[in-house]
Amino acid sequence: MGTNTANVLKFTDGNFDAEVIKSDIPVLVDFWAEWCGPCRLMGPILDELATTYAGKLKIGKLNVDENQESPSQFGVMNIPTMIVFKNGKEAERFVGAMSKNDLQKKIDKAL
């Protein structure tokens, strides 16, 4: 399950500021964990959407077990939680697994 496609980035507490907060395009961060079933369902969907939105939206995953600073900073209580950041600020937040279609609609609205 740890496979990352070229399009889905790996965010950590260490690169969060540079990759997400200072990004010049919007960023969707998927807060997830290896043991979370619904999180694993979202993996392939995010891979596909990363291709769809290439150049318009960065998509990446942050493992909450390995990185605890960022999730607590943004009050992430349940996973999967996906947060869209625009200009370094939280613009939109979605909690729970959803279909590609539903997620795409939410992203389009956020962008």
User: Using CA atoms, how far apart are residues 81 and 62, in angstroms rounded to an integer?
Assistant: 10
Which of 8, 9, 28, 39 is an active site residue?
A: 39
For all residues of the chain together, what is the average pLDDT?
94
Digit-coded pLDDT (tens) for 49-99: 999 999 999 999 999 999 999 999 999 999 999 999 999 999 999 999 999
Q: Is 36 a catalytic residue?
A: yes
Q: Any residues with CB less than 8 A from the CB of 59 and at least 6 apart, and which?
A: 7, 8, 9, 27, 28, 30, 46, 49, 50, 53
Domain of 46: which CATH number?
3.40.30.10
Q: Is 39 a catalytic residue?
A: yes
The pLDDT, as a whole number, for residue 7 is 86
Residue 76 located in a structural domain: yes
User: pLDDT category, 2, cuts 50, 70, 90?
Assistant: very low
Torsion-angle region of residue 55: left (phi > 0), alpha (psi -120 to 50) or beta?
Answer: left
**6: pLDDT strictly greater than 80:** no
Digit-coded pLDDT (tens) for 33-48: 999 999 999 999 999 9
Report the DSSP beta bridge partners of residue 11: 62
Structural domains counted in the chain: 1
Residue 2 located in a structural domain: no
Which structural domain, as residue segments, surrounds residue 14?
Answer: 8-110
For residues 36 and 4, the answer to whether their CB atoms sit within 8 Å is: no
Residue 1 located in a structural domain: no
